[in-house]
Amino acid sequence: MGHIFDALALGGSGSVISSTDEHEELYNDAVKHLSVGKEDVVLDAGCGTGAVTFEIAKLCHHIVGFDISRESIRIARQRAKQEGKLNIEFHLGELECPDAIEGLKNYEVYDKILVFRSLHHLPQLYKENSMVKLYSMLKPGGRIVIGDLMAFEPPEQHRSSWLEIGYDGGLTDRIESVDFHIKFLNFIGCDVKIERIHALLGIVVGYKKDREHGLFKN
Ligand SMILES: C[S@@+](CC[C@H](N)C(=O)[O-])C[C@H]1O[C@@H](n2cnc3c(N)ncnc32)[C@H](O)[C@@H]1O
């Protein structure tokens, strides 16, 4: 599956956000919600060639990016080496099983986790698996920020903006309702905040409680 994204990685511009005003807003606000501090260790899940990872690296102690695309990881590592970045590392791996990625275990837990424009590639059940595992890698008191395609209104009502938003109508993009994200993050124990950028684009922030009382104790 990663090879589909390899081709995209090779054609990528490498800029943080190039496409539309909505995507620029999605990026700016996702970073704002992440609220990265100088001491934070951050995980960038589905990082691609690291355009966002490199920006967040300027704000935090250390950032670890992973992606299913071998080519993306090669490009990201090459850039980190060329720029002499010591607080960034990249690993190959899947959103469905981040807990199986050896390199991610260098840090027991992460202060912040970003899942930016990557989760929509997964079918719903895989999204759930991924979120449960990412949540288990999050520090109590930490937060997970999903910035992605998500339906605040039925996608069919917004056909005219699919192209602009980057939604392929369900060919490969698996858009979920915003309610799905809220309910699932609540279910695994997070308090949730939502920001709507567009009818099909938004940010969900899950806050992990300091002390756990539910199923997923740390
Ligand atoms: C639209 S790009 C976003 C990349 C980066 N987050 C950004 O915004 O610049 C989507 C990324 O998700 C990755 N991806 C898709 N499915 C994945 C999976 N199952 N596990 C890990 N990464 C995945 C792709 O390889 C691709 O790099």
Per-residue pLDDT of the chain (218 residues; tens, 9 = 90+): 566 677 767 666 555 665 688 999 999 999 999 999 999 999 999 999 999 999 999 999 999 999 999 999 999 999 999 999 999 999 999 999 999 999 999 898 999 999 999 999 999 999 999 999 999 999 999 999 999 999 999 999 999 999 999 999 999 999 999 999 999 999 999 999 999 999 999 999 999 998 755 555 44
* Per-residue model confidence (pLDDT) at position 168: 96
Q: Is the CB of 121 under 6 A from ligand 1?
A: yes
Print the domain residue range for 22: 2-208
In a domain, 216, yes or no: no
Which protein residue's CA is at the shortest distance from atom 17 of ligand 1?
68
C-alpha pair distances (Å), 87 with each of 47, 80, 110, 211: 15, 9, 14, 29
What number does the ligand 1 atom closest to the CA of 5 have? 25
* Per-residue model confidence (pLDDT) at position 6: 78
In a domain, 214, yes or no: no
- Structurally, the chain folds into a number of domains equal to 1
Q: Is the CB of 95 under 6 A from ligand 1?
A: yes
| Centre of ligand 1 from the C-alpha of residue 48, in Å | 5
Do the Cβ atoms of 134 and 110 come closer than 8 Å? no
In a domain, 217, yes or no: no
In a domain, 90, yes or no: yes
What's the pTM?
0.93
C-alpha pair distances (Å), 180 with each of 38, 78, 127, 128, 134: 32, 37, 10, 10, 17
What number does the ligand 1 atom closest to the CA of 118 have? 12
* Per-residue model confidence (pLDDT) at position 5: 78
What number does the ligand 1 atom closest to the CA of 114 have? 6
| Centre of ligand 1 from the C-alpha of residue 61, in Å | 23
What number does the ligand 1 atom closest to the CA of 96 have? 19
Q: Is the CB of 46 under 6 A from ligand 1?
A: yes
Q: Is the CB of 53 under 6 A from ligand 1?
A: no
* Per-residue model confidence (pLDDT) at position 179: 98
Q: CATH no. for residue 69?
A: 3.40.50.150
Among 201, 189, 113, residue whose Cα is nearest residue 155:
201
Q: What tokens were used for 117?
A: 């424009």
In a domain, 199, yes or no: yes
